[in-house]
């Protein structure tokens, strides 16, 4: 009887254990960690301390991914983008992708972020509110130039509202994050959105180095 009860409890607990194993905590980045991507894009950890990390983005990296910031300070716990960094000066980060990292990650997790910005309207630039929605959809085996990795897939959906409240400009991007690499290994942008953007391109990891 005791054996039957034990087996029953084990069956109940196994799904819970499986779910717990899927939780991804924020990685430990070290100064000198570097990721190389297609398009000669390079991202490197320029500073690491108890408060967080400064990542430097090369000129050749996609302007969308860096949001035209050369260096960005990331929160240590969540890896949210906190500051745009220029030399020794920091200013509050107010661009998109502020929460593209939001550790811990797990399948099914969802979160949102919104921020004010400028979009091109029929009569010229207009002030709008951008809304970003993130969903962790599952695990996949990904093969890229830098190797083969087990990666968790992140769906990114963004739209914006005009001053009159009209929803416009929806885009859907896909990212794959690998715990072994400690960064994204692949990005696939919305095809329609990319059509006339020469500086925007799908990218994948070509090589990386992690310091100890």
Strand segments, DSSP code E, in 9-77 are: 34-37, 41-48, 52-57, 71-75
Q: What is the pLDDT of residue 61?
A: 66
Q: How far is CA 201 from the centre of its chain?
A: 16
- In residues, how long is the chain? 212
This prediction has a pTM of 0.87
Band the pLDDT of 1: cuts 50, 70, 90. low
**What CATH fold (topology level) applies to the domain 24-209?**
YmcC-like fold (2.40.360)
Say which residue the tokens 């006339």 belong to.
196
Using a pLDDT cut of 90, give the percent of the chain over it: 69
Task: Give dist(CA 146, CA 84) in Å, integer.
Answer: 28
pLDDT tens digits, residue range 79-137? 999 999 999 999 999 999 999 999 999 999 999 999 998 887 777 788 899 999 999 99
pLDDT tens digits, residue range 198-209? 888 999 999 999
Helices first, then strands: H and E counts in the chain: 3, 12
Task: Give dist(CA 59, CA 42) in Å, integer.
Answer: 8
């Amino acid at each position: 009887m005791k054996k039957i009860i034990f087996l029953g409890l084990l069956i109940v607990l196994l799904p819970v254990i499986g779910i717990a194993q899927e939780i991804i905590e924020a990685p430990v980045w070290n100064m000198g960690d570097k990721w190389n991507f297609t398009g000669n894009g390079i991202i490197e950890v320029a500073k690491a301390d108890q408060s967080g990390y400064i990542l430097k983005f090369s000129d050749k990296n996609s302007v969308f991914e860096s949001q035209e910031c050369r260096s960005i300070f990331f929160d240590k716990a969540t890896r949210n983008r906190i500051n745009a960094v220029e030399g020794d000066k920091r200013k509050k980060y107010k661009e998109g992708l502020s929460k593209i990292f939001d550790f811990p990650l797990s399948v099914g997790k969802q979160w949102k972020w919104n921020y004010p910005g400028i979009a091109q309207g029929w009569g010229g630039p207009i002030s709008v509110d951008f809304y970003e929605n993130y969903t962790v959809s599952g695990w996949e085996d990904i093969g890229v130039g830098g190797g083969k990795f087990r990666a968790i897939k992140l769906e990114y959906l963004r739209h914006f509202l005009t001053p009159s409240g009209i929803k416009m400009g929806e885009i859907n991007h896909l990212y794959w994050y690998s715990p072994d690499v400690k960064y994204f290994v692949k990005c696939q942008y919305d095809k329609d959105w990319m059509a006339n953007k020469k500086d925007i391109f799908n990218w994948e990891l070509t090589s990386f180095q992690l310091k100890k």
